[in-house]
Amino acid sequence: MKTSATKSGLYDPALEKSSCGVGFITRKDSTRSHDVLVHAHRALCEVPHRGGMSAEGVGDGAGVSIDLSPDYFRTLTGNADLQTGEFGVGNFFLPNDPSFHAEAEAVIEKAFADHGLRTILVRDVPVDDTALRPVAIKDQLLIRQWVFTGAEAGSFDRRIHEALLAIEAIAYAESTLTGLYPLSLSAHTQVLKGRLNSNEVVPYFRDLTDPSHAVHTLYFHTRFSTNTDPHPTMAQPFRLMAHNGELNTDKKNRLSEGALARARNREIVRPPGQSDSCRLDQTLQSRIVDDELDLVTAVVSMMPPAWENDTSLSAEVRAMLEYFSLYEEKNDGPAALIFGDGTVVGARLDRLGLRPLRSVET
């Protein structure tokens, strides 16, 4: 099936916007439990109205991001030595043409080898087609999963990020690899998503219903495509965030980021037909890896409050926000953001505040 958006008639993927549903479930004590997945399914069953679907009932897209469970992957790999932060998981959509799957796998393996990552397991993420309407099965894409460790000393997260960039640079440039797309590549989290309705996500991915699979945090997204083309690569979450709304400053943000990249003698490789949400996620990852900001600082700097005339803010907070304004273009929506990196999870509104978020602690 087609997995990338292309300009056609009045449709332009550069203008892609959507109205969606987002949320997260977490244990504040960071204790991993399968109950998190159970509660997440209940939450996802409450928000199908926030997502769109075709006349046949095929979802516009939905998915989850979860922290990596060492116990679960020890069982899968047979490696009892796996420790949190010392192994990683990469989930990939493969090329549209199955005859190029081997080429895609070679690209991934070479990037791993070049950056000191050692593969210990490759598998297809198991799914349950009975969780879907029969007409929706053909619209789903296989997710191939790599589990790996760091074969060399040095920053594991940095090498994973550089391997990701190396894969993207080839995947988005080679026509034979069209459809090769990293959903996530991380030592902390993994993303599972597809052309799904929100209530189908947990039952569809068998890993999420396995009673032995325990996590401490899950955040989710269900997509409502507004006059746009639903396809799996546009489903969310992305690697660090899930976004509800739109970014009306997206073009300005892209120009600013391009100028910054050129000043650093770098090139930004964008996925074909990338949405405003995907661009925001890509920028967020750059702020963390390249600028060495923590996740919360990066989010606040990219999506600051309307602070200039707010007299309730302390001098220290005003100074911080003024400093951010010197180098970061504001990302204005209206937009609501859920973000997480496997350690921290949070929510953020842009300064317009027009996408209300609510939280409940039990």
| C-beta atoms surrounding 45 within 10 Å | 15
Q: Is the distance from CB of 157 to CB of 108 less than 8 angstroms?
A: no
Lowest mean pLDDT among 7-11, 65-69, 195-199: 7-11
| pLDDT at position 6 | 67
| pLDDT at position 273 | 72
What is the residue type of 360?
V
Residue 146 in tokens: 């790599």
Span 139-178, pLDDT tens digits: 999 999 999 999 666 699 999 999 999 999 999 999 999 9
H or E stretch at 338 = strand 335-340
Q: Which CATH superfamily is domain 18-349 in?
A: Aminohydrolase, N-terminal nucleophile (Ntn) domain (3.60.20.10)
Span 297-313, pLDDT tens digits: 999 999 999 999 999 99
| C-beta atoms surrounding 61 within 10 Å | 29
What is the residue type of 301?
S
* pLDDT beyond 90 at 268: no
53: left (phi over 0), alpha (psi -120 to 50) or beta: beta
pLDDT mean across residues, the chain: 92
- More confident of the two residues 247 and 88: 88
Catalytic residue list: 20
Query: ∠ at Cα 105 (99, 106), nearest 5°?
Result: 105
The average pLDDT across 358-362 equals: 88
| pLDDT at position 329 | 87
> Contacts for 126-131 with beta carbons within 8 Å, 24 or more apart?
126/205, 126/206, 126/207, 127/204, 127/205, 127/206, 128/203, 128/204, 128/205, 128/206, 128/209, 129/204, 131/200, 131/203, 131/204
For the chain, what's the residue count? 362
CA atoms within 13 A on the CB side of 357: 22
| pLDDT at position 16 | 53
Nearest in space to 143 (alpha carbons), one of 98, 178, 91: 91
| C-beta atoms surrounding 190 within 10 Å | 27
Query: DSSP readout, 288-315?
Result: HHTS---HHHHHHHHS----TT-TTS-H
Q: Determine the Cα–Cα distance for residues 296 and 53; give it in Å rounded to an integer.
A: 33
